[in-house]
């Protein structure tokens, strides 16, 4: 199994306890990872147009719907 060297790999304990051989590589740099750049841009746009989105409270379904509207709006800019 090839994994990056991220701190919080969710299956690390399971891999080791089940004798899975791990080949660790260096963590991917956000500078060269396209999806990290896209999410960084989306986060900046969300902060600009929805500055209080990260403070939402209430029923999960309402928060999920509000986030969906906000992300769709920002993605379509």
DSSP string across 7-54 = TT-TTHHHHHHTT---EEEPPPPTTT-HHHHHHHHHHHHHHHH-TTGG
pLDDT at 49: 92
CA pseudo-torsion sign 27, 54, 69, 62: positive
Half-sphere exposure of 36 (CA within 13 A, CB side): 7
Residue 66 pLDDT > 60: yes
- The pair of three-digit structure tokens given for residue 44, joined into one six-digit string: 């900046």
Model pLDDT for residues 18-33, shown as the tens digit of each residue:
888 877 666 666 666 6
């Amino acid at each position: 199994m090839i994994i990056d060297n991220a701190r919080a790999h969710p299956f690390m304990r399971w891999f080791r306890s089940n004798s899975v051989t791990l080949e660790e590589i260096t963590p991917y740099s956000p500078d060269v990872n396209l999806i990290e750049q896209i999410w960084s841009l989306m986060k900046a746009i969300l902060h600009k147009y929805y500055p209080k989105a990260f403070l939402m409270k209430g029923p999960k379904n309402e928060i999920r719907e509000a986030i969906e509207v906000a992300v769709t709006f920002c993605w379509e800019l």
